[in-house]
Structure 1
Amino acid sequence: MNPAERTPKQPTLQTVDRALTFLEYVAAAPEPPTVQQVSEALGLNITTCYHLLRTLVARGYIARHENLTLTLGDGVGALFRAYQRRFDIDDNLKGCVDKLAAQTAETSYFSAVEGNRVILRILVEGSQPLRVSGLFVGRSGDEHLRSSGKAVLAHLDDERRAAVMANCVEGRSETDASALVEKLDRDLRTTRERGWSLDEQDSDIGISSVGAPVFDARREVYGAVGIVVPTTRMEKHRQRYVECVTATAAAMTALLEAAGVR
């Protein structure tokens, strides 16, 4: 389908839509086109195309050559490198979770803040014969109970924390919601002070977890890393688990800072 023939599902800004369509055509053309050829192919007025071209050239997204043909500019390369870096970062974060699982032999996770949710994005099962299973990538909700949710909530600003909590208290009476928030505030204060969170069978009976916040290059909370274990093992090895989790969180934060992730 010709890019110009796409029907947007939501209202769009026509000038931006045309500029992107222009850029996409140049990118997909088998041979470098001229502005006249772009105009004819997209059914756009030649004057409009020149306006779009000047803007795209000024921003470095299109290069115009002496023979009047057009190719992608260096600005596109910068966008691609930023896009590719995201995949590299995800691979590096996965490596950190793999290492945590190997160190502890326990099921390990990384959850990211996305909108008003804390969503499980990386999951590595432990190697213990008796281990926690049943978790899945994409899980969210119950942020006030899960160690990942608590680690993140403790470091969000008041407005964002309230937005996340609105989902958690939905359907509860005003009295129950108020009591839940009051209890959580105490828990989050403790979490901030010690640098890690704890789910002591809050989410599931017989299962406990430790989490620690991961920060981006702005020092804003990006997500949380942690382990999920049978409660009996947590009682025996909590200090070692905490040390492993907080060290992993520090390593992940360093990765995000070095990559300039925001």
Structure 2
Amino acid sequence: MTEEPSDLIRSVSRALRVLEEVSRADRPLSVKVIARRCGLNLSTSYHLVRTLCYEGYLYRCPDGDYLPGTQVAERFHEMIDAFDRPPRASVVLRHLSAVTGHTAYLAQLLGGRLIVLDVAEGPRSPWLEDLQAGLDTAPHATALGKALLLSLPQRTRRDILTEYGLRRFTSSTPASVEDVEEELARLSPGQVVEEHGQFRDEVACAGAVVPGTSWAIGISAHGLTIPARARARLEEAVGDLK
């Protein structure tokens, strides 16, 4: 939803802003800092953090500063579990990671967002903080996203890219919808899609859609090439999830 609803409950909106600020901070925050960052008065901020602490969404440190509470993690795991993933997805991802040594991913486009639903880490891949379970990431700069975009009608694809925006991650990231379309025009729906240094410098990724589904699986690798053996194993994994 991009427009503010007429029945917006301000107290709920403010509480969520407080939770967001505390969650994205790299250290515990005091109430004064929370109030300043959220544009709230101090009294309102105290009421909100006390309520969030009582409900378990914030934790009050001994020095009086605040961290995210355990209920944040509980909701995160419930969100992940709510997605109707392919029954063998976790087994297939872990096998793919084990036989290639590369990190394997499962993702889906939901509401125009590319959501990573499962990850099996491998030692031959870098740790990518934006490609972790539960996070949404860039469809235009990732092989997972491009594989899923390739399976969509052009108009739908362009709407998603326009809505999401084309953030530049590296100097190789596509700069416009036309750039993405030109790249996808050279590919056939269902084939393995690769990107080289578009999402992270000196990192390559490959992804493919599982036929007949809205799921994509992929792998990442150090450097700007995907090893042929790893690509072949990825294609086998796609077949395992059909």
Write out per-residue CA displacement over residues 79-104 of structure 1, whole angstroms, 9 at most, x where no aligned residue: xxxxx9x76x5441111111110111
Query: Of the two, which has the highest radius of gyration?
Result: 1
Aligned partner of 2:151 among 139, 149, 155:
155
Write out per-residue CA displacement over residues 108-149 of structure 1, whole angstroms, 9 at most, x where no aligned residue: 101012121121001110034x64343311222321110011
Matches within 5 A, 1:121-132: 121-128=117-124, 131-132=126-127
> Does residue 92 of structure 2 align to residue 92 of structure 1?
no
- How far apart, CA to CA, are the structure 2 residues paired with 1:124 and 1:96? 10
1:240 aligned partner: 229
Matches within 5 A, 1:1-262: 89-128=85-124, 131-134=126-129, 135-169=131-165, 180-192=176-188, 195-215=191-211, 219=212, 221-231=213-223, 234=225, 237=227, 239-252=228-241, 254=242
Secondary structure class of the residue paired with 1:122: strand
**Unaligned runs of at least 5 residues, structure 1:** 1-8, 11-83, 173-177, 255-262
TM-score normalized by the length of structure 1: 0.53
Q: What is the number of residues matched between the two proteins?
A: 158
CA contact (8 A) 2:113 2:164 kept: no
Larger helix proportion, structure 1 or 2? Answer: 1
- How far apart, CA to CA, are the structure 2 residues paired with 1:157 and 1:114? 15
TM-score normalized by the length of structure 2: 0.57
- How far apart, CA to CA, are the structure 2 residues paired with 1:147 and 1:179? 16
- Cα 1:109–1:192 change in 2 (3 A) is same
- How far apart, CA to CA, are the structure 1 residues paired with 2:156 and 2:189? 20
- Cα 1:179–1:126 change in 2 (3 A) is closer
1:51 aligned partner: none
CA contact (8 A) 2:104 2:218 kept: yes
Secondary structure class of the residue paired with 1:192: coil
- How far apart, CA to CA, are the structure 2 residues paired with 1:159 and 1:194? 18
2:66 aligned partner: none
CA contact (8 A) 2:147 2:190 kept: no
Moved more, 222-231 or 185-194: 185-194
- How far apart, CA to CA, are the structure 1 residues paired with 2:122 and 2:167? 35
What fraction of aligned residue pairs are identical, expressed as a percent?
A: 20
CA contact (8 A) 2:108 2:114 kept: yes
CA contact (8 A) 1:207 1:230 kept: yes
Query: What amino acid maps onto 1:248 in structure 2?
Result: A
Shift in Å at residue 163 of structure 1?
Answer: 2.5
Query: What amino acid maps onto 2:150 in structure 1?
Result: A
**Unaligned runs of at least 5 residues, structure 2:** 1-6, 9-80, 169-173
- How far apart, CA to CA, are the structure 2 residues paired with 1:229 and 1:212? 15
CA contact (8 A) 2:101 2:122 kept: yes
